[in-house]
A and B are shown apart, each in its own frame.
Chain A
């Protein structure tokens, strides 16, 4: 029985990765639809794997229903545009640039951004913490990279970006469960990324890539550590307290929370700074200020989770700070994942250079062999707009 499940798990994970790779490589709309469907199927199976409580079943059912509706909408939108343009074999670029709002909204649903965000929290609660980074992050990365390759500066993106930053910030204000809180934070971060997508300039592309890399690594480490800590009811107050002896977990989670909140010395600040500066370049003052203002409540809840659990256990008069031997294998895993996060702190150029080259290739702009810090921000899109 165990072996069978393990095999199933392996098949599912490989298929998930393969389908997301497919999505990024092909530029055909039919392939996009098919890969989206495949992604939903595999995520559903991964969610319902080893599920013994009612909550996970409920979450998976919700996800199934909503994603089915969204995919039908998606295919109707695709068919409508193909009917309008009178051609069967159409590239995605024309599909997305021909003002087809129905398709874009459905893609936003798949990303889990604001008006369509309700399934995200349930999904987070439903799945096991071990499977979560697979289910959440890989499809999102694939979908965002497909969106990035095509010119999609639509106003729907801006609206959903603003909405999702606010919903992500406000939703988690009084949240007691750790996973739900992380879900809301993911919605908030999604909003920031979508805002960057709306700009569609070279620095914003770079900023999105930076944000994606930093955010995915932080979230994977967070979920890994949460997987290793024992907490029964999944409450935020439990995450640190039940695990009094294990001190490395505490340090890792607290630094990552601070990085997520975007406070300056941490790499989370770097990505936010890049996105802010790119929005400022497009003269969108109000939206960028709004994004930063939503950052305040989100920092409030990150700090809440950090302090009320981490600081509460330690007093100056007690001597409880003893280190427990963590499993060596896990230690290596943590170290490998946390190292890039901390290295960006010391030398951000390491992350800035490759993202810059990739974004120049994506936008078909000569890279000029200049570092991103030199100010040669070529934005062909806005010039053509004007």
Chain B
């Protein structure tokens, strides 16, 4: 299996989609689900193959010594375990969103599927390029289809404001990145990251590069002073949009931290790690406190994902192999669980047309399947042992302990709060007396919806018990 062959499959499906007539909705749905399953299988094969042949994970941690660990398949596309695992995550999310689309979307299916496949293509390219410029281009262009999704399929009038915020924030973050990339190319003469890692970069250019990279990725992650676009975007986006946003697009920020910032600018990121620690701890604490007092479930999930991303950035900048491995694990597992929670919230929204927590009570009496799935995902999200989140968080905390014990203390306190709000959500929804709505009008998940959730939760559980393939 070649990486190039892998890239062909979304392109082929895109072309098929464009040629498809508009009214054949059923055919399009089936075809898109089939092709997403195919893509998922391809990525899984790629991941396993890659894992067997080389332990490319060493590349991330000892970047200055080893150069030939990357498998160069074509000129500028290359991959290691981090990129293949995130590719697997994207293809899983695609599959769930295809399965979800049958119930949650009402119009213009053709465009929706085209948007989804363009997102997969751009994300695959961002995860596999070795040139910084190509990374920037693809990083930005993954915004466009998501913006279209938010704008066209969003359900309320505030969606225009939300998309406006979303795009402008990311623009503001990424323009300095563009400038710094150009400056770097002017001074060093390459875009290629592997050659850049082995270069002796002047300290002044290092600082410039760090600022550019940091701003772009911090806006994307988002860390706390630049976070205000995220809750808005999550609330206004359609179900699939928020699933993709929480699952994959936020990870691009931390992916950038792991891939570009820490290996290229090792000394500088060691130097700035206290600042980064403070910012990430702040974002963890404040976001989880915020999410404790939300009525809107989607907003609550948005704040919670912010808190978890803060944990991941803290792990990235503690600069030891343990925490980096943990950050990778947490990225994957958070992508699986938070997107599953968003999907569940969207199913609730489909039933009652509201996302307020007080409208749902005692669902375990009437809808057992939904409530058990909610229980599974919330438990995984608060990282109980047995889930993959636990593995990731455990490794992160170990690495943070190596940096300084106080870091572990503060981050565990932050994570404790996440259990608090998740339990609050679960208890509010499932237990106590069922309301009249839940008694008479609520109906359980259909087969498609359960499949959509299970594609996310099952890998999480299995990998939690047997984390070898991701290590």
Contact = CB atoms under 8 A, between A and B. Distances in A.
B234 interface: no
Contact of A319 (B107, B152, B160, B182): B107
Contacts of B171: 263, 296, 299
A287 to B, nearest CB: 12
Interface residues of B, number: 36
A288 B156 CA distance: 39
B172 to A, nearest CB: 6
Interface string B77-98: 0000000000000000000000
Contacts of B144: 258, 263, 265
B154 A316 contact: yes
Contacts of B159: 311
A292 B175 contact: yes
B59 to A, nearest CB: 27
B151 interface: yes
A254 to B, nearest CB: 9
A288 B179 contact: yes
Given A299-B168, A316-B153, A264 B160 contact: no
B137 interface: yes
A319 B106 contact: yes
B61 interface: no
Interface string A126-144: 0000000000000000000
A300 interface: yes
Contacts of A293: 175
B151 A310 contact: yes
B107 A296 contact: no
B179 A264 contact: no
A280 B175 contact: no
Contacts of A303: 163-164, 167-168
Nearest to A270: B137
Interface string B174-191: 010011001101100100
Nearest to A299: B171
Nearest to A272: B178
A263 B146 CA distance: 14
A42 interface: no
A230 interface: no
Interface residues of A, number: 33
A321 interface: yes
B401 interface: no
Interface in B153-211: 153-157, 159-160, 163-164, 167-168, 171-172, 175, 178-179, 182-183, 185-186, 189
B163 A307 contact: yes
Contacts of A175: none
B140 interface: yes
A352 B56 CA distance: 37
B446 interface: no
A263 B140 contact: yes
A8 interface: no
A36 interface: no
A231 interface: no
Contact of B108 (A277, A292, A321, A375): A321
A98 interface: no
A280 B182 contact: yes
A76 interface: no
B172 A289 contact: no
A312 B140 contact: no
Contacts of B189: 375
A265 B143 CA distance: 10
Given A263-B140, A285-B183, A316 B106 contact: yes
Contacts of A277: 182, 185-186
A90 to B, nearest CB: 39
Interface in A357-374: none
Which 7 A-B residue pairs are closest in the complex by CB-CB distance? A265-B141, A311-B151, A264-B140, A316-B155, A280-B186, A264-B137, A307-B160
17 contacts: A258-B144, A264-B138, A264-B141, A276-B178, A276-B182, A280-B185, A285-B183, A295-B175, A296-B172, A296-B175, A299-B167, A303-B164, A311-B151, A316-B155, A317-B155, A318-B107, A319-B107
Given A263-B143, A296-B175, 8 more contacts: A263-B171, A269-B137, A288-B182, A293-B175, A300-B168, A311-B160, A314-B152, A315-B154
